[in-house]
Structures are given as C-alpha cells and as structure tokens.
Structure 1
Amino acid sequence: MTRAIVLDIEGTTSPTDAVRTDLYGYTSAHLPTWLSENTDGTADSVLTATRELAGEPDAGPERVAEILRGWLESDVKAEPLKTAQGAICAQGFRTGALRGRFFDDVAPTLKAWHADGFQLFVYSSGSERNQRDWFTFADAGDLSGLITDHFDLVTAGPKREPASYESIADRIGVSPPDILFLSDHPDELDAAVAAGWQVVGVHRPDEPNPPRPPHRWVSSFADIDPQLPAH
C-alpha cells in the first residue's frame, strides 16, 4: 500500500523550460554581482569550492563566475553551483522576479493526495533551498504546506543510484514497497525500482525525455491512483 509519494520537479511537476530558463537564467545574470558582493558570506565557500573543483586556486570572482556559468550551461550538478543558485534565486523569489511554475494538473492533484493522507516529498537535483522556494512562491499559490520534506543531490545522493533511494526510504521511515516515485527520467525510475520502490513515469507534451519500458507512463498526475499498485 502506498504511504509516501516522492516527486521529481523538472519535467514532472514543472516544465523543463521553467527551471532552465527562469532559474538558470536568473542565476547566470546575477552570478558576478553576487560573488563580488558576498565574499564575507555564502559566496566565500562557493569561491573556495569552485577553485578547488576547477583546479584554479588563484581564480578571482570574475573567473569563478565564468566557471560556474559554464557548469550551468552544461547542467553540471556541482555543489558550489547549487549553493550559489539557491542563494541567488532566493532573492529572486522574494522580490517577485521568480515564481514556481507547475503543470495545471499538479496543484489540485497534490492537494487531493495530501487530503487523502499520503505523505508528499520532493527529490530533485536542484538545491533544497530552491525546491522549497519553488513550492512556496508557486504561481498556483503557496504549496509548501503539502510537502513533508525535500531531498537533493547533497542530502540524498545522485538520482541514478539505487543507494540514494535507499537513503531516502530510511530517512522518511517508510518501507520501500510503500513509496511511489514520479519522474520523467527512465534512469531515475530504474534506480528507484532497484531500491524496491514503486514508480510511474511522467511524460509531458514537449518534454525532452521519451518514455522507456518496462515502466508505466502517464501524461498527467490525474491519471495516477496511488491506491493501486504502480506496476
């Protein structure tokens, strides 16, 4: 019996373009200023970690911004980039420059599942900070109260590794067969199945990741009944 539902964001709850154009674009535009103006705060750790990962110990803020922009464009899941993006976009959400964009079926379905007693979690490659803001400052209204907890690459691990899903199951205290994972990426679904989870693939129109057997695929959350076995 399903007790917990774990949600991916990009391509699953929200358009890929919303994440990559809105969050990535805002981050890229504000990186140089943020790095130069916050050297006594969070930016200091980002500068240090980026220099180490890039093998450029003498890189100044402008060069670090260039490195981080390159990683952003290549979708590199580097921790200092995620830290910078979380801090920069937090400002954007709070000034109204950024909003969490969701597919139309998501908010009403999540509200229904929450009302039915399912625990809802988010597991995304974006930082936990960005995830929380994405749901709090959503275009459909504040959805943060529906989510029990969030996980990212730092707190749970890579999304294509079964060990990451085992870690999440341990932390939320739910048996793997009682967890349902929704994602648009077949490799992530494979990893979750290897960890003993139920899965349903979500393929939205115009989204980049094509469906792949043996998983069941839907185009809307409205087509999912968590009370029924996923596979």
Structure 2
Amino acid sequence: MTIKAILTDIEGTTTDIRFVHDVLFPYARQALPEYVSDHWDDAMVQEIMSQARAEISQPDADKDTLVQAFLGWIDEDKKVTALKSLQGLIWVEGYEKGDFTGHLYPDAYQHLMLWDQQKVALYIFSSGSVKAQKLLFGYSDYGDLTPVFSGYFDTTTGHKREGVSYQKIASAMQYPPENILFLSDIIEELDAAKSAGMQTCLLARDQLLDPKEHPMARSFDEVAILYPTTGEK
C-alpha cells in the first residue's frame, strides 16, 4: 500500500533522546525558580500556577511551595500538564536567546525535506506538548522547519500506546489509516498504530530491539527504501 502521509515520533526517531534529557530538561530545571519569579505576574504563568495548586490539592500554595512542587515533578519525571506548560515557556526563552537549538538527525532532516518536496503530508505525534514540538522544529539545527508539517499531535489526543489515539489522528489527518506510515522507536506505540490500521516502521538506530511484527530501519534512508511515497498534500 502506497504511503501518502507520514506521522512521526520525535525522541529517538527524528531527534536524539539525549537532547531532551541532557539539554532541555536540565535547562528547564535550572531556569525554573528564576523564571517563575521574573514572570510571576504574567497571566499565563498564573494560570499554570492555578493548575499546579489543583494538582497538589493546595489552593493557597505560595510561590516557594509551587516551585518545589515543579522541581519535584521534574526529578520524579512526572507527566503533569502544568509542568509541561511551564517547561514550554522556559524553552521558548531558551530558544529565542540562542542558548540551544533543536537537535535533528541529519538523515531525518534530509528526508523530511525530500518528502515535503514530494508533497507527502508530514505530521508529528509526541508525548511532548504541541508547543514544545513546534519550538524544537522552529528553532532546529537546520532553521525553521515548521512549514513542512501539516499538523501536530500530543497526548491531549490520547495515550501513545492506545490504538484509539491513532484512530483519532487518522480521522483528523483525513487519510485512510493504511496510507499513513507511523515512525517510532517504541514497539508498543507501533503496536497501537498498527491496531488502528496504519503502516509502521521501527526506527531502531543504535538500539538492540526485536521488531516483531514491524519492519525495522536504522535510519530515514532505510525507511525511504522500505516505503516508497506518493504525495498528495
């Protein structure tokens, strides 16, 4: 079946997972206390603080209590919406100041650009927020790549290991699932996408993984060989 649209994960697929864990997360943790102090009166920050108070069931929590809660969530790797929102704001500042750029594997960049030229519709599905996704590609090592993407999805759509999430995404993309290729380095995510009717490919790169029911590639070069595309964007 011909591929007309590609849905890709970010961490470990287009982007070295170490960039997120070794650059983005530590940057946000270090900058968080000062950022909260400097932007305490901003409406967006106050909304995030309200969400955090609800999360910890302390409606009157003060600034210091909230900052400690955020730092605790980072240290425990908790998937808390308020934390993701605050990290996103901090990363905006970091990207804009040029403190870092969004990492992309060279082969990922080359094929994303090629598929875009071929009019293949490109989409992202990541556990990171849509805002964080757009920042990474907007301030990438290769400049602003956001124009090549037709849409972005995060866990507000659904869990990445549940088939219904991919059913919703296929509906939103308006392509038959069998014409959509999902790329990820996580087998359970590929299982979920396959259960929704999508075609799948495991990006193993340097990992020793058993692909089971999914074709496996070590790079986007190999993905392109395994799956010829016919763009109709």
Note whether the superposition's TM-score is higher than 0.5.
Answer: yes
Q: What letter corresponds to residue 24 of structure 2 in structure 1?
A: L
Q: Identity percentage over the alignment?
A: 33
The residue aligned with 2:128 is 126
Q: CA shift at 1:75, angstroms?
A: 2.6
Distance 1:53 1:211 in 2: 38
| Alpha-carbon distance in structure 2 between the residues aligned to 1:20 and 1:63 | 25
Q: Does residue 215 of structure 2 align to residue 216 of structure 1?
A: yes
SS in 1 for 2:24: helix
TM-score computed with the length of structure 2 as normaliser: 0.90
Rounded Cα–Cα distance in structure 2 between residues aligned with 1:76 and 1:212: 28
* 1:126-173 C-alpha deviation (Å, 9 max, x unpaired): 11111111111111232222111111112x121111111111111111
Deviation at 1:12, TM superposition (A): 0.6
The question of 1:31 aligning with 2:32 is answered yes
Show the counterpart of 1:184: 185
Output the CA distance in 2 between the equivalents of 1:91 and 1:120: 27
2:100 paired residue among 98, 101, 105:
98
- Indicate the residue corresponding to 1:152 in structure 2: 154
Q: Number of aligned pairs?
A: 225
Q: Measure how far apart 1:38 and its partner are.
A: 2.5
Shift of 1:210: 3.5
Amino acid at match of 1:189: L
> Taking structure 1 as the reference length, what is the TM-score of the superposition?
0.91
Q: After TM superposition, list the pairs within 5 Å mapping 1:53-72 onto structure 2.
A: 53-72=55-74
Change beyond 3 A, Cα 1:211–1:16: farther
* Matched position secondary structure for 2:200: strand
Where do 5+ consecutive residues of structure 1 fail to align? none
Deviates more, 1:55-64 or 1:135-144: 55-64
Q: Distance in 2 between matches of 1:21 and 1:56?
A: 32
Tell me the amino acid that sits aligned with residue 197 of structure 2: G
- Please give the root-mean-square deviation of Cα atoms over the aligned residues, in Å: 1.7
The letter of the residue matching 2:25 is Y
- The one-letter amino acid of 2:185's match is D
Q: Does 1:141 align with 2:127?
A: no
